[in-house]
Chain A
Amino acid sequence: MRHTSYRQLWLVLRGEIAKQHHHHYHSCFVFFSLLVWPVFGFFTVYFSYKPFSLAKGTLCGIAGSQDLMIFLCAGYMAYNCFWAIVQSAWNMTWLERQSGTLEIAFLSPANRLAMMYGKALGALFEETWMFLCFCLFMLFWAHGFSLRLLILLPLVFFVLLISASIWGGLLNTVFLLSRDASMIYSMFEDTMVLLAGVRVPVGSFPPWAKAISLVFPLTYCINIIRALFMVSVSVNVWQNLGQLFVCLLFMIVATVLLLKRAEAVHRDRGELGLY
């Protein structure tokens, strides 16, 4: 049995996060993808809702334009974290295959799980902090400053950080398994926005769509955040936390199994350097 100390795990995690940071911040244009495009996307949806009556929105806890702002902020804040991970997993896998660094990293005895989660965490910190700041500002603006909000925010970030990292670890592993997994990128782009309830309440979906939405951990994260910030939303936080925990546990098990499979396949076929 291979033993890896916590110190070595931490070193690998830290190394991956630092590498992502140095790789990403090379020009000011990076702020467009960090802030400008997500904000455009957010306001596009917000102003698309504006001309319509929100009367029926009360069923989903949206009583007015301020509630709509909180509803969308919560959705976009969580979605931005999850989507950043999908993009990063795809970009980094492609880049690392092309540059040959993926194979060189696998030459080392570094813990593979730590490598996958390190890549996810690195992307999460790098790609979301600006938009998260924007969403926080909007939340305070719409919700008003309160002690309750200040206390809840660290909890929200903790849930988002853990969930998105585990999701990212799984995606990194899937992209590791196959260089042709790009369909996942396309598959999640719109599917996740729609079915996880980023723009539209999941409660308004037909039963089959509601069933699919349960697959995404993003759905539970959004539900939890909305329940915490929108008093009128009737969502059971603990139930969603429980469901999220089961979903994440399943993803961790899947990541471990797929990672073993991916390394076995690459040791057999030597495809880590192919792109």
Chain B
Amino acid sequence: MIRMLAAVVSPSSGSLIIDGVDAVARHFQVKSKLNMISGGERNLYWRLTAVENLRYFGSLYGLSGPLLKERIRTLLAMTGLTEAANTPVERYSKGMKQRLQIARGLINDPAYLFLDEPTLGLDMLIAKEMRGYIAALAEDQDKGILLTTHHISEAEELCDYIYVIDQGRIIAKGSKEELKGLFGYRQSLLLSVAALPAECEAELNRAMLAKETDMTLMADRRQINLLGNSTVWAEAFAILSRHEVQITDIRNKEPDLEEVLVAIIKDFRSAQQMR
């Protein structure tokens, strides 16, 4: 899919419009606005140094002279490779190769960047470092970034909008919050109280009913589970405070995006089997 969007491969059906240009029929017109970064250690010349690699890929985009030199310098500084600029890539660690890939992907200053599993095979610390670079690209350099990943936490950390694809089809899309809202997955608040007077319980029930929020009493009426959001919960706190109810513990349970996505995919697959 990434290769299709990056105008390397033609789609078998549908259309691809980038900035108003038909990127299937006129793919050469959009190529200078795009670039692609894949996970892993490929896509670089290992016997060449970082500078030689960037100089070559820059030349393919018609860059030369002081402009190319300055861009290489900036990208190497940004990815922390200045000191290793003249070391052959074969001597780089995995993380350094991946950082050079990012520099290569930015050599033409693309408006749109496609990242294909950019943290594939990296250890936790380097993967976190990579996620930092990617976030900075979107925030500081205003790049349009499309990232594919199997790590849901990565999507949760980096993406403003998520498409869930299964068997080549988009089965759900939306912001993190919107996706979490699907299938009734909402934030919940678990309050433990010393004791819950009947009149307080009745007032809570009425208030939560009015807000259309689920409330469940558990553990011999000493635990209150509230769905909803902070507005609803503020009202619950006010009621408990008015009745001088002692709160002994508070736990906020965020719905896990991974659980949500697994549920979405399972639901999609079972619907497919039913057909």
Contacts and interface: CB of A to CB of B under 8 A. Distances in A.
Interface of A: 2, 5, 7-8, 11-12, 14-16, 18-19, 22-23, 26, 99-101, 103-110, 115, 266-270, 272
Interface of B: 3, 6-10, 27-29, 31-32, 34-36, 38, 42-49, 52, 55-64, 88, 104, 108
Given A22-B48, A100-B43, A107 B56 contact: no
Contacts of A5: 62
B43 A104 contact: yes
Closest 6 A-B residue pairs measured CB to CB? A15-B59, A100-B42, A108-B60, A109-B31, A110-B60, A270-B9
B42 A14 contact: no
Contacts of B48: 19, 22-23
Contacts of A104: 36, 43, 57, 104
Contact of A22 (B35, B47, B61): B47
A266 B7 CA distance: 11
Contacts of A23: 45, 47-48
A99 B27 CA distance: 24
Contacts of A266: 8-9
Contacts of A26: 47, 88
B65 to A, nearest CB: 10
A11 B62 contact: yes
B46 A15 contact: no
Given A15-B59, A109-B31, 6 more contacts: A14-B59, A100-B42, A101-B42, A104-B104, A110-B61, A268-B10
- Kindly name the residue among B10, B49, B88 whose own CB sees the greatest number of chain A CB atoms within 10 A: B10
Given A100-B42, A107-B34, A267 B62 contact: no
A12 to B, nearest CB: 6
A108 B8 contact: no
B46 A108 contact: no
A66 B141 CA distance: 69
Nearest to A23: B47
B47 A8 contact: no
16 contacts: A5-B62, A11-B63, A15-B55, A15-B56, A15-B60, A22-B47, A26-B47, A100-B43, A101-B44, A104-B104, A105-B57, A107-B31, A108-B32, A108-B108, A110-B59, A115-B60
A8 B31 CA distance: 15
Nearest to A118: B59
Contacts of B56: 15-16, 18-19
Contacts of B28: 2, 109
Given A7-B62, A15-B55, A108-B61, A99 B32 contact: no
Nearest to A99: B42
Given A2-B28, A22-B52, A107 B45 contact: no
B75 to A, nearest CB: 16
Contact of A103 (B8, B62, B63): B8
Contacts of A2: 28-29
B57 A99 contact: no
Contacts of B108: 108
A267 B57 CA distance: 20
A7 to B, nearest CB: 7
A18 B61 contact: no
Nearest to A2: B28
Given A15-B56, A109-B61, A267 B27 contact: yes
A200 B163 CA distance: 67
Contacts of B9: 266-270
A5 B55 CA distance: 19
B224 to A, nearest CB: 56
A242 B32 CA distance: 41
A112 to B, nearest CB: 10
Given A19-B56, A107-B6, A8 B46 contact: no
A103 B35 CA distance: 12
Contact of B45 (A101, A106, A269): A101
A18 B55 CA distance: 9
A8 B104 CA distance: 19
Contacts of A267: 8-10, 27
Contacts of A7: 62
A95 to B, nearest CB: 9
A147 to B, nearest CB: 40
Contact of A99 (B43, B49, B64, B104): B43
Contacts of B104: 104
